[in-house]
Amino acid sequence: MRSPGSPSAPPFREERTGPMMPAPRLADRLTDALRSEAKLLGELAATMRRQRDAVAADDLDAIDESVFSTHRVLSTLGETRRRRRWLAQLLGESEDLSLSTLESFFKGELPENVRDATTELADAARALQHEVDLNRHVLRTAIDASDAYVRSLCGLPSRGTAVYSDAHGSDSAPGGFIVDRRV
């Protein structure tokens, strides 16, 4: 049985202080992980722009391609985030290491490359959020326009108009969409 003080015994978890790898090497790995994540967020933002263009052009093939591309990038992004969580564990931190708490692990001053990568990632995240918000609005508008078009083709009232069954309190009565057979 090894004693905790013997040279061949592994250190107890409580005895570990600081990162488990040299700070410069850890900083390089962290920089690489942050930049990889920022690059993927940039790719995702570009995919959102392509998707918006495809919706505007009614190009169903391009829309399908953008959905596939989104899934591919999100999968790769998940791997990149797992890598960042692993690096956080090397720092002795939980898996939820935020960008704002990195300074505490480098004694209050982030290495320049880590700081730059953190800024790149934050900028990429803001740009992606903007693209997602735009797409959400464009897609919601396209869905509403499509719904209004189908309703007009079928002779249905617009969504804002009360339906006959609503006026009589009979929402669950059977009936067709085109012809109301309950009357």
pLDDT of the chain, 183 residues: tens digit per residue: 444 444 443 332 333 344 455 667 778 888 999 999 999 999 999 999 998 898 888 888 998 999 999 999 999 998 988 888 888 777 776 666 677 777 777 676 788 898 899 899 999 999 999 999 998 888 788 788 888 878 788 877 777 544 444 444 444 444 444 544 455
Question: What pTM, to 2 d.p., does this model score?
Answer: 0.65
The distance in angstroms from the start CA to the end CA of the chain is: 88
CATH for 20-153, among 3.30.360, 1.20.58, 1.10.8, 1.10.3470? 1.20.58
- Helix H segments across the chain? 23-56, 60-90, 112-154, 164-167
> Contact, 119 vs 100, CB < 8 A?
no
Euclidean distance between CA atoms 103 and 118, whole angstroms: 11
